[in-house]
Structure 1
Amino acid sequence: MMTPTASAAGRRQSWISMLSIPLFALTLWTCGGGAAVQAAEPGKDASAGSLPRILVLATGGTIAGQADPRATGAYKSGQITGEQLMASVPGLDKLAKINAEQISSIGSQDMNDKVWFALARRIQDAFDKNEADGIIITHGTDTLEETAFFLDNVVRGDKPVVIVGSMRPATAVSADGPGNLYEAVQVAADPRARGRGVLAVLNDKIQGARSVTKTNTTSIETFGSPNDGPIGYVDTAGGIRFLAQAPGFRRATYQLPAGEQLPRVAIVYSHANMDAIPIEDAISHGAKGIVLAGVGDGNTSKAALDALEAAAKKGIVVVRSTRVRSGFVTRNVEVDDDKNGFAVSEDLNPQKARVLTQLLIASGVTAPADLQKAFTATW
């Protein structure tokens, strides 16, 4: 929990001892420009004239990374705490009362069910107990879209949940994390963000959890929504511009299963000269579902299709998606989905189709017709 009464000298000393903050951020802090992060009061809604209460849940990632001497530009993810991240950004105290909690300190390539469940439970608890007016999750970019989509399907309520990351670590000369964090707080604190589901805020864009995806390995312009486009824009000077009114969005009510793990679902990547071995291997390792990252409109070789049909007949859920960056996968065009017992992912890429398939299997939804209804629910 952040303590608003900590002395300025103590805060400066704690930052000077860190090697993780760029020179510009340290200069701002020691000159009095650092955000004085205030503790939020549980159980009170933000009222007219008061600042909204924002709960920050930190998971690690590049945004919390520190330089590593092994190579130019190298870094280690998840080295800086959520409290330190928020304290490094000037002006946040003018936007909101902020509390920060550390959920994990990992690179998002290591994101897992246990952390997902911890995030979902903490967010729901904060909303149910009226501890916060909005939530921010700091996260690595590699699997940011999957975490956003998972939470979008399990968290109930209409308060803003904003996920944010960066492509460059905190120690980079041109770190993008501080700007992204500031804009994430702007969005989470804005009443117009309510009812829009989980939002990703990076590089001046606001994007929906269903459509956002990482499109470039290193560019800060990496996140886009190929099928839908952004739902809004944000910048520190011009404020927030949503492109449409909130649709009165209501999150799905999938329940978290008992334990800390979702059912095993494999993604099988299609390619030229593909055989059945990847599918048979997934089944032998206990997959309850298989998502095909198919070529074109979610297609694959005859050998692979035959293996998928055999899997579906054994009760394994099969969903056709595509390895192509944009577009929809359509039923019964190139593949006889009705005959084979397949569902198609519509607009969802393979990684998000996997998340929804896991939630559906955990909820007992395995019949092809019912699966398809879930995948097309928002269309």
Structure 2
Amino acid sequence: MSFFSRVRHVATAGVAALAFISISAVAQTKPNVVILATGGTIAGAGANSTNSATYSAAKVPVDKLISGIPELSQVANVRGEQVFQIASESLTNNDLMTLGKRVSALVKQSDVDGIVITHGSDTLEETAYFLHLVIKTDKPIVVVGSMRPSTAMSADGMLNLYNAVQVAGSKDARGRGVLVTMNDDINTARDVSKTINIHTNAFNSQWGPLGMVVEGKNYWFRQLDKRFGKNSEFNIDNIESLPQVNIVYGHQDGDALAAKAFGQGGAKAIIHAGTGNGSVAKHVVPTLQELRSQGVVIIRSARVPAGFVLRNAEQPDDKYDWVVAHDLNPQKARILAIVALTKTKDTAELQRIFWQY
């Protein structure tokens, strides 16, 4: 090899080495985000592109979800795990425990900066709130779903997942608890609920979103004044099982059959989804009083989508030794109850927990 050829060879090798170092440095500066897949619409598929509401959920595995959005590599170093492949209405307490334990293990790893959980929209708010209560970390945890399968025209899953990864890898999302990113909004798991079953703007909070994510940038508008994450008294690592808690729905001409059946079936608490301000029909009250005397905790919630239940309004909660759910809807009240009951059965303590969380 001539002198000039050797010079060109060394120069070319040097450029290649610098390029490799540059690429490696970029990879190291990007956050490491783990995507835990559980199924749902975001992993669903329809018969054709016009099927936006008729489809099969939980069909697409996590590796295909990730490979279908190459832009993810621009915002984070992403890897995926398939925890479940389930439509979310079929998730159980045991599934919540399995998912929670895995999330808790991952957030302890120094090479994990944030976690995204893909989830069916039907019970997404319940899983998100459970994790919000029991995972002791400041690292961002984002639960995300979609309202349309990936095969549909104008599918929302790709952008929702991209935004979720962006938020999970963001330093400014730390310490905000578990978040839900849908339709560009960033909501807290504590407040958000699914409010419509067709449109893509399905997830909302009566108190408003924490912020928005637009074109890869987060915009924050408020903080959450409740306990969660590192400030929570609950820790998934110390929980071995979750108690049975059931919901009874209040309506005209209702009866106490469901409450009696749940009590006989082993319920440790019953959430009464009452009308208005958590009202309970006069012919149902005696059954709930009897169940309370047997040790079943009675928690008054409301079926209305906004507002909150006032203690000792509509019902004498102090006299009956009942608990009120405040602004938590029935399904969120159930989640807090299954967590709180792992620590206490005292109604005064339970009421404190419902005020603080």
How far did 1:90 drift?
3.1
Contact residue 226 and residue 356 of structure 2 kept, 8 A: no
Indicate the SS of the match to 1:163: strand
1:166 aligns with 2:146: yes
Q: Match for 1:147 among 127, 131, 142?
A: 127
The residue aligned with 1:242 is 220
Q: Match for 1:138 among 99, 115, 118?
A: 118
How far did 1:72 drift?
4.8
The residue aligned with 1:360 is 340
How far did 1:205 drift?
0.1
Structure-2 separation of matches of 1:82 and 1:325: 33
Q: For residues 193 and 258 of structure 1, do their structure 2 counterparts lie closer, same or farther at Cα, with a shift above 3 Å needed?
A: closer
Structure-1 separation of matches of 2:331 and 2:214: 29
1:81 aligns with 2:61: yes
Q: Deviations over 1:45-64 (max 9, x none)?
A: x9997000001000000000
Structure-1 separation of matches of 2:302 and 2:36: 32
Structure-2 separation of matches of 1:208 and 1:326: 16
Q: For residues 249 and 299 of structure 1, do their structure 2 counterparts lie closer, same or farther at Cα, with a shift above 3 Å needed?
A: closer
Structure ranking higher in helix proportion: 2
1:284 aligns with 2:264: yes
How far did 1:115 drift?
2.2
How far did 1:162 drift?
0.2
How far did 1:362 drift?
2.0
Contact residue 196 and residue 249 of structure 1 kept, 8 A: no
Contact residue 132 and residue 228 of structure 2 kept, 8 A: no
Indicate the SS of the match to 2:341: helix
Contact residue 195 and residue 247 of structure 1 kept, 8 A: no
Contact residue 299 and residue 322 of structure 2 kept, 8 A: yes
Unaligned runs of 5+ in 2: 1-23
Q: Deviations over 1:112-137 (max 9, x none)?
A: 22221122111111122223100000
The residue aligned with 2:351 is 372
Q: Match for 2:164 among 146, 159, 184?
A: 184
Indicate the SS of the match to 2:190: coil
Q: For residues 258 and 94 of structure 1, do their structure 2 counterparts lie closer, same or farther at Cα, with a shift above 3 Å needed?
A: closer
Q: For residues 321 and 47 of structure 1, do their structure 2 counterparts lie closer, same or farther at Cα, with a shift above 3 Å needed?
A: farther
Larger radius of gyration: 2
Indicate the SS of the match to 2:283: helix
TM (norm. structure 1) is 0.83
What amino acid does structure 2 have at the position aligned with 1:194? R
The residue aligned with 1:332 is 312
Contact residue 165 and residue 177 of structure 1 kept, 8 A: yes
Contact residue 297 and residue 330 of structure 1 kept, 8 A: yes
Q: For residues 161 and 173 of structure 1, do their structure 2 counterparts lie closer, same or farther at Cα, with a shift above 3 Å needed?
A: same
Structure-2 separation of matches of 1:169 and 1:156: 33
The residue aligned with 2:8 is none
Contact residue 104 and residue 237 of structure 2 kept, 8 A: no
Q: Match for 1:50 among 29, 33, 40?
A: 29
Q: For residues 95 and 292 of structure 1, do their structure 2 counterparts lie closer, same or farther at Cα, with a shift above 3 Å needed?
A: same
Structure-1 separation of matches of 2:277 and 2:223: 32
How far did 1:92 drift?
1.1
Q: Deviations over 1:318-359 (max 9, x none)?
A: 100000000111100111000001000011100010011111
Q: Match for 1:302 among 264, 282, 302?
A: 282
Q: For residues 180 and 191 of structure 1, do their structure 2 counterparts lie closer, same or farther at Cα, with a shift above 3 Å needed?
A: same
How far did 1:94 drift?
1.1
Contact residue 52 and residue 189 of structure 1 kept, 8 A: yes
The residue aligned with 2:43 is 64
Structure-1 separation of matches of 2:258 and 2:114: 42
Structure-1 separation of matches of 2:237 and 2:253: 38
Contact residue 269 and residue 292 of structure 1 kept, 8 A: yes
The residue aligned with 1:346 is 326
Q: For residues 258 and 126 of structure 1, do their structure 2 counterparts lie closer, same or farther at Cα, with a shift above 3 Å needed?
A: closer
Structure-2 separation of matches of 1:139 and 1:304: 36
Q: For residues 249 and 53 of structure 1, do their structure 2 counterparts lie closer, same or farther at Cα, with a shift above 3 Å needed?
A: farther
How far did 1:216 drift?
0.4
1:124 aligns with 2:104: yes
Contact residue 280 and residue 315 of structure 2 kept, 8 A: no
What amino acid does structure 1 have at the position aligned with 2:46? A
Unaligned runs of 5+ in 1: 1-40
How far did 1:282 drift?
1.1
Contact residue 195 and residue 250 of structure 1 kept, 8 A: no
Q: Match for 2:246 among 266, 288, 307?
A: 266
Structure-2 separation of matches of 1:260 and 1:101: 23
Contact residue 313 and residue 341 of structure 1 kept, 8 A: no
RMSD: 2.3
